[in-house]
Amino acid sequence: MASESERERVQQLQSELREHAYRYYVLDEPTISDAEYDRLFRELQELEARRPDLRTPDSPTQRVGATPLDAFRPAPHRFPMLSLQNAFSLDELRDFDERVKRNLGLEPEAVVEYIVEYKIDGLGISLTYTDGVLERGATRGDGQTGEDVTQNLKTIRAIPLRLAEVEGRPSACEIRGEAFITKDEFVRISQGREERGESPFANPRNAAAGSIRQLDSSITAQRRLQAIFYDLRTDEPPPFETQAGLLELLSEMRLRPSAPYRVVAGMAEVDALLEHLDRERHSLPYDVDGLVFKVNSIEQQRRLGTISRSPRWAIAFKFQAERGETTVNDIIASVGRTGAVTPVAIMEPVLLDGTTVSRASLHNMDEVERKGVRIGDRVVIQKAGDIIPEVIEVLADRRTGEERPFIMPTECPACGGEVAREEGEVVYRCQSPTCRAKLEGSLEHWASRGCMDIDGLGPAIIKQLVEQGLVRGIPDLYRLQHGQLAALERMGDKSASNLLAAVEASKRRPLGRIVYALGIRHVGATVAAALAEHFGSLERLAEATTEELALVRVVGPVVAQTVRRYFDDEAVRAMLDELRAVGVEASTAESAPVERRPFVVGKTFVFTGALETWTRPEAEALVQRLGGRASSSVSGKTDYVVAGPGAGSKLEKATRLGVKVLTEEEFRAAIEGGA
Ligand code: IVH
């Protein structure tokens, strides 16, 4: 390729990838498949490796891979990062409104416009952009000087390395917001830590803070942080007149602005609003610990100014973290996929934040002892980060003397195998390789979304399959017969056929997903993907030495050793042979160059009714290979419904919503024609 066209291609790829990352991480509305994104990304990586002079610091490839630091450099803030005064009641909010009016020289009857944003419970960050390029990312620190965490913040894909060039973009500015971890991600990280016997993070905030204050940015990259922004400071005259306008500009520059928000006139109807938002917040995917009321007018903000490090124009209203008191009726030992035996408190059910809570993990024996929980105790519980119920205090003065300590069983409650604690670990594990609870756990993991994605194979079905001896290991899933499935509880003829088709479709998945699905200790989705990319096949991975494994970027010596030991296990080798024999094989869909079909790229398809040429999973895989998306339900976002004979409610809905409907024939002609 001529050097000029290489330059053009690099620029084009960078801008396309930026656009797709924005759609994916900020808007949550991707228009291409992950595979297609990966393909573009790899093409850019390869080009930049060949032409390092074309690799700019704001290239999408420059998010990870920096060498670990010894310490963070201090990062003085150009504008101080202020803190907020707090209000804990409606009266205190009304007092704030009165102070604002007094300080603005307004009559008590005057109405000030406020914007009400959620107060996100994460870690405050400040991004410095010069001419649209991210130069530095810092923590808040003491408000005057923070820590330079640029390398780590660059791994967060919701943080643009370059801002969109829009009217009003200041040439130099500091943008403030919150880096955080969603509730789902917190659950994912917590489970991983519990399985590995690491001490749990108390809540998503701590998890976010711990992830950002990592000297090794590859660890931050594995934690899937998010970021939302609410402030912009610049020496230049601001191009907005209100806080709402500021949020608008952030959004135009491709940052995710603080939202949803409300603009209200005065405090007259604020009690209804508080009640509404306190309910609404539970449906947000991340934790909020309150609201922030801000005077909407920037001019009024300027006139109000700041007092002792807090703006006079804003106040935080804290939600009550709901706590409850209950009795621990029992402490049971629960066995997970890795054989970890976890003590779980079974409690008298209590209503907390709208859901009934009756179980709380006590994590491990060290935690049980540290908290001093006994069976029969009265305890105070709270939801850690609003989601995971946690025993926070034992009410020791309420003891009757009847309470009993929990004793870790020496035999596995699921299979009777030996339970032991390995040296240097806090976790007890069932040592039996044939443990039923372990098997059920590993089948659930295998079938889960991020792994082999077997739709319809949930815990209840797995339990029956294991109990009836139909499945003794993962390969048995691929030997199931229609009749065996149809005879299970809550299964019919149709659902058995669907499940069989889903099992069949799962035979071909990208290598990274298969490696993750095996459930090797310490190997999460990120490490699995890196291993897959490095070794290219399961055979080569299984043969790799500890030294070779440790060469993979995200793999440390401990992980390398665990992986090596896993593949040394005779039983594992036999299982891998069996998997190959039943036809489980890594698909090349994600690594092979994809044939793009303009007709399909970025479009969402729903298949319904009987198809002749393909099964439904095959047609869905085909669409993905061609650069589109497949979905199982029809919505406003569906571009095409491909309907075969027998199509019912989906076809009806498509017609109602005005979604284009194709016959199988038309669909085939369109993709074959390459139109
Ligand atoms: S405004 C001058 N808005 O809360 C304005 N802060 O206790 C200062 N926070 O350090 C901040 N969500 O880290 C603002 N929507 C929001 C916020 C928010 C979370 C954090 C921020 C700040 C702390 C103040």
- If asked whether residues 312 and 363 sit together in one domain, one would say no
Beta bridge mates, 381: 324, 391
Residue having the nearest C-alpha atom to atom 9 of ligand 1: 119
- pLDDT at 464 exceeding the cut of 70: yes
For position 204, what pLDDT does the model report?
85
Task: Quick: pLDDT tens for 546-561.
Answer: 999 988 866 778 889 9
Pocket test for ligand 1, best of 119, 229, 287 (most atoms within 8 A of CB): 119
Q: Which atom of ligand 1 is nearest to the CA of 123?
A: 13
Name the one residue in this structure whose structure tokens are 């439904």. Answer: 616
- pLDDT at 331 exceeding the cut of 70: yes
For position 385, what pLDDT does the model report?
56
Q: Binning pLDDT at 50, 70 and 90, where does residue 603 land?
A: confident
Task: Quick: pLDDT tens for 445-454.
Answer: 999 988 999 9
Nearest CA among 662, 636, 635, 637 for reference residue 647: 662
For position 657, what pLDDT does the model report?
85
Which residues form the pocket of ligand 1, taking CB atoms under 6 Å from any ligand atom? 82-84, 117, 119-120, 124, 140, 178, 230-231, 258, 292, 311, 314, 316
- pLDDT at 259 exceeding the cut of 60: yes
- If asked whether residues 273 and 383 sit together in one domain, one would say no
- pLDDT at 535 exceeding the cut of 50: yes
- If asked whether residues 312 and 221 sit together in one domain, one would say yes
CATH number, domain with residue 366: 2.40.50.140
CATH number, domain with residue 628: 3.40.50.10190
For position 33, what pLDDT does the model report?
84
Domain boundary among 365, 383, 405: 405
- pLDDT at 282 exceeding the cut of 70: yes
CATH number, domain with residue 574: 1.10.150.20
- If asked whether residues 48 and 166 sit together in one domain, one would say no
Q: Binning pLDDT at 50, 70 and 90, where does residue 620 land?
A: confident
Q: Which two tokens mark 668?
A: 């085939």
Is 489 part of any domain? yes
Ligand 1 center–CA 123 separation, angstroms? 9
For position 247, what pLDDT does the model report?
97
pLDDT greater at residue 275 or residue 246: 246
- If asked whether residues 568 and 663 sit together in one domain, one would say no
Mean pLDDT of the region 557-580: 92
| Size of the chain, expressed as the number of residues it contains | 675
Question: The pTM is what?
Answer: 0.61
Ligand 1 center–CA 320 separation, angstroms? 18
Nearest CA among 503, 519, 332 for reference residue 441: 519
- Write phi, then psi, for 671 (nearest 5 degrees): -75, -30
Pocket test for ligand 1, best of 126, 246, 292, 317 (most atoms within 8 A of CB): 292
**Measured distance CA(483)–CA(490) in Å, rounded:** 14
Ligand 1 center–CA 142 separation, angstroms? 14
Residue having the nearest C-alpha atom to atom 2 of ligand 1: 82
Domain boundary among 506, 528, 553: 506
Pocket test for ligand 1, best of 77, 79, 82, 84 (most atoms within 8 A of CB): 84
- If asked whether residues 19 and 115 sit together in one domain, one would say no
- If asked whether residues 516 and 476 sit together in one domain, one would say no
Residue having the nearest C-alpha atom to atom 16 of ligand 1: 119
- pLDDT at 198 exceeding the cut of 60: yes
Is 650 part of any domain? yes
For position 230, what pLDDT does the model report?
98
Is 107 part of any domain? yes
For position 217, what pLDDT does the model report?
87
Question: For the chain, what is the domain count?
Answer: 6
- If asked whether residues 13 and 159 sit together in one domain, one would say no
- pLDDT at 435 exceeding the cut of 70: yes
Q: Binning pLDDT at 50, 70 and 90, where does residue 591 land?
A: very low
Pocket test for ligand 1, best of 178, 250, 284 (most atoms within 8 A of CB): 178
- pLDDT at 254 exceeding the cut of 70: yes
pLDDT greater at residue 115 or residue 592: 115
Is 424 part of any domain? no
Buried b (16+ CB within 10 A) or exposed e, 164-180: eeeeebbeebbbbbbbb
Q: Which atom of ligand 1 is nearest to the CA of 118?
A: 15
pLDDT greater at residue 654 or residue 507: 507
- If asked whether residues 256 and 167 sit together in one domain, one would say yes
Catalytic residue among 101, 119, 183, 507: 119
Ligand 1 center–CA 126 separation, angstroms? 11
For position 70, what pLDDT does the model report?
81
Q: Which atom of ligand 1 is nearest to the CA of 119?
A: 12
Domain boundary among 455, 472, 506: 506
Of 347-351, 431-435, 504-508, 521-525, the poorest mean pLDDT is in 521-525
Mean pLDDT of the region 468-485: 95
- pLDDT at 1 exceeding the cut of 70: no
Residue having the nearest C-alpha atom to atom 6 of ligand 1: 119
Q: Binning pLDDT at 50, 70 and 90, where does residue 195 land?
A: confident
Pocket test for ligand 1, best of 88, 120, 205, 304 (most atoms within 8 A of CB): 120
Q: Which two tokens mark 602?
A: 């970025």
Mean pLDDT of the region 346-372: 88
Ligand 1 center–CA 309 separation, angstroms? 13
Ligand 1 center–CA 291 separation, angstroms? 9
Ligand 1 center–CA 317 separation, angstroms? 11
- If asked whether residues 109 and 253 sit together in one domain, one would say yes
Averaged pLDDT of the chain: 89
Q: Binning pLDDT at 50, 70 and 90, where does residue 675 land?
A: very low
- If asked whether residues 476 and 342 sit together in one domain, one would say no
637 catalytic, yes or no?
no
Buried b (16+ CB within 10 A) or exposed e, 344-364: bbebeebebbeeebeebbbbb
Is 475 part of any domain? yes
Residue having the nearest C-alpha atom to atom 13 of ligand 1: 124
Ligand 1 center–CA 24 separation, angstroms? 25
Ligand 1 center–CA 305 separation, angstroms? 16
Is 416 part of any domain? no
- If asked whether residues 149 and 228 sit together in one domain, one would say yes
Nearest CA among 344, 373, 375, 377 for reference residue 361: 344
Q: Which atom of ligand 1 is nearest to the CA of 306?
A: 2
For position 78, what pLDDT does the model report?
95
Nearest CA among 443, 444, 452, 506 for reference residue 476: 443
For position 65, what pLDDT does the model report?
67
Residue having the nearest C-alpha atom to atom 23 of ligand 1: 83
Residue partners of 304: CB distance under 8 A and separation at least 6: 100, 103, 104, 295, 311, 312, 313
Of all residues in the chain, what percent are helix, strand and coil, respectively (each to 5)? 40, 25, 40
Range of the structural domain that residue 657 is part of:
604-673
Is 67 part of any domain? no
Mean pLDDT of the region 456-468: 94
Residue having the nearest C-alpha atom to atom 22 of ligand 1: 83
Mean pLDDT of the region 207-233: 91
Ligand 1 center–CA 117 separation, angstroms? 9
For helices 183-195 and 204-212, the axis angle rounded to 10 degrees is 80
Q: Which atom of ligand 1 is nearest to the CA of 258?
A: 15
Mean pLDDT of the region 296-321: 92
Is 79 part of any domain? no
Task: Quick: pLDDT tens for 77-136.
Answer: 999 999 999 898 899 999 999 999 999 999 999 999 999 999 998 999 999 999 999 999
